[in-house]
Amino acid sequence: MSGIPSFHGFGLGLRRPHYSAFMAGDVPVDFIEIISENYMVDGGRPLAVLDAVRERYPVAMHGVSLSVGSAQGVDWDYLARLKALAERIEPLWMSDHLCWTRTSAHNSHDLLPLPYTAEALDVVCANLARAQDALGRELLLENPSSYCSFPDDEMAEWEFLSEVCRRTGCHLLLDVNNVYVSARNHGFAADDFLAGIPMERVRQIHLAGHTPGAILIDTHDREVCDDVWALYAEAIAMTGPVATMIERDDAIPPLPVLLAELDVARDIAAQTERRAA
Amino acid sequence: MSLAALQQEFMGHVLDEERPLPRHWDARMGEGLAIYRNAYRTRLIDALRETSPKTALWVGDEAFAQAAAHRLILHPPQGWTLDLIGEGFVETLEELFAADPDVADLAWLEWAMHLAFTAPDCPPMDAAGFAEATSDFGEEDWATMRLAFMPSLHVRAVSRDCGALWRALEREEPPANAPLPESPMHCIVWREGLEPVFAQVPARDGNHLAAMRAGSSFGEICAALAEELPADQAAAEAGAMLGDWIGRGIVQGVSSGLPVAG
Ligand SMILES: [Fe+2]
């Protein structure tokens, strides 16, 4: 099984309003992240755009439909299509979420929360091991935002994630905004989360904006808030240099706005590195 | 509760807000579930609206959202791809707007354009390629000739001039009524390079196209035409239709002899 290449830098997601700029290759980013499912199609413009972008940038594949926590196992057809896309574009790495999306009958098209139980841990590890075998590579698993926690929980999310890493050899995609959102929603300390996961397994960081309220919602429709920037500084002090990207999926602004926001991440990373030196 | 049972229960609440909470799930759990349920509905209705923006404009946003919700309640999605969320939505609109067939026609056109957008890449057969492939055809070969069409091709008999309706909606100038075609029409959709396109053709051409796409031989098409037209006109018409299909770039390949299984 192939390992994950050593790579760090600053990136953005490939979204439709910015296709032409990324195809021209004149966007100053180090890598691009795609939503894998948007390109798991037979042909036509999406793949033509992706091929053109891939000629100019390294690409990370980020999936939303693996459903690694589903009790009834992995979807082999999905994995076969995902693998075909990976063979086409040779991504930096592939990631998905610690969640479930479907039952045998229905697909929610959402990242639904898992109970952090020994049974769920066995299911996630078995599914992830099968997926990694089928894809021939180690995956990155991302911590999601969640809005429910179950009375069945037997461990904390970070303990669960650590154990998945230990048993499957997977890596982590640390979404700093999701740590913040879930910490607020479930009343744990974000610092405990950061201290509790194997930071050396973090290969990528996500930053994003959320909607405030009694329950915070991970909407990706606004800029990263100050608290999340502060948490990012803490996280990269622990990980060292790591690939970082900003997710924006709604109310998508012009590229210069996102690039300016990405510069904030660059500045924080540079300051953190200077302090460490 | 086992993980499988928990996931069944949770999904039940995502799909149905009337479902009573299990005793050990408290009110805070209910609030969280409401967020997931709301996100599920919004995402799926938005996805349907994204594949059918002109239909939404034509029937109005509220009526569209109701139709979409109706569809999702009766047929919650099963597959992993949101790209196919609109599968079957045309049939739902046919039922809900039975008195206004223009709604389903327009929605069909949008759905066919959507499918054509990501259909497999393959070059069409041009006139020179067709001439070469058929250069040694004898009479028997022409009679048993079958065509492979582009994977992006879709054909439907339409009751209104949905092309005119499409263009009016593209200008965001919805007409008072859906325009009637001058004579019965079929709408055909395919992709030119990366661009999905459509055209309207006379019903007779559309029927024969649909028949050949379903596996009829050219000889069968000619025989059908000979029943409608005098012999010399039938032959000319068959040739013209074939030329039109090749000219449009909807033919991918040609074969003769008995159909190959599969
Ligand atoms: Fe994320």
Residue of chain B with shortest Cα separation from A215 = B32
User: Looking at residue A245, what DSSP letter applies?
Assistant: E
- Taking the CA of residue A215 and the nearest CA in chain B, the distance in Å comes to 8
Per-residue pLDDT of chain A in tens (277 residues, 90 and over written 9): 657 888 999 999 999 999 999 999 989 999 999 999 999 999 999 999 999 999 999 999 999 999 999 999 999 999 999 999 999 999 999 999 999 999 999 999 999 999 999 999 999 999 999 999 999 999 999 999 999 999 999 999 999 999 999 999 999 999 999 999 999 999 999 999 999 999 999 999 999 999 999 999 999 999 999 999 999 999 999 999 999 999 999 999 999 999 999 999 999 999 998 988 7
CB A158 within 8 A of CB A196: yes
Q: How remote is the CA of residue A100 from the centroid of ligand 1, in Å?
A: 15
Would A92 be classed as within a structural domain? yes
| The two structure tokens encoding residue A97 | 């979420």
Would A5 be classed as within a structural domain? no
Would A4 be classed as within a structural domain? no
Q: Which residues contact B246 (CB under 8 A, 6 or more apart)?
A: B125, B126, B127, B130
Would A2 be classed as within a structural domain? no
Query: Residue B183: what pLDDT?
Result: 82
Structurally, how many domains does chain A consist of?
Answer: 1
Query: Residue B180: what pLDDT?
Result: 81
pTM over 0.90: yes
Enumerate the residues of chain B whose CB falls inside 8 A of the CB of residue A147. Answer: 31-32, 35-36
Handedness of CA A105, A111, A115, A121 (dihedral sign): positive
> What's the domain range around A225?
10-276
Name which of B3, B41, B42 to mutate to probe chain A: the one with the most chain A Cβ atoms within 10 A of its Cβ: B3
CATH of the domain at A89: 3.20.20.150
What is the tens place of the pLDDT at every residue in B108-131?
999 999 999 999 999 999 999 999
Query: Residue B259: what pLDDT?
Result: 60
Query: Residue A3: what pLDDT?
Result: 74
Measure the CA–CA gap between B192 and A251, rounded to whole angstroms.
31
| The two structure tokens encoding residue A254 | 């012009």
What is the tens place of the pLDDT at every residue in B221-240?
999 999 999 988 998 999 99
Residue of chain A with shortest Cα separation from B34 = A147
**Measured CA distances, B258 to A192, B140, B143 (Å):** 71, 11, 10
Q: How remote is the CA of residue A60 from the centroid of ligand 1, in Å?
A: 13
| The two structure tokens encoding residue B219 | 């000889």
| B80:A75 CB<8 A | yes
Query: Residue A4: what pLDDT?
Result: 86
* Mean pLDDT, rounded, for B153-168: 93
| A107:B77 CB<8 A | yes
Of B7, B36, B83, the CB nearest to A71: B7
Of A106, A123, A151, the CB nearest to B77: A106
* Coil vs helix vs strand at A117: coil
| A215:B40 CB<8 A | no
Enumerate the residues of chain A whose CB falls inside 8 A of the CB of residue B7. Answer: 70-71, 100, 103, 112
Provide the chain A residues 235-274 that lie in CB contact (below 8 A) with chain B. Answer: none
CB A224 within 8 A of CB A207: yes
Measure the CA–CA gap between A156 and A150, rounded to whole angstroms.
11
Would you say residue B262 has pLDDT above 50?
Answer: no
Percent of chain B predicted with pLDDT > 70: 98
- A117 touches B at CB < 8 Å: yes
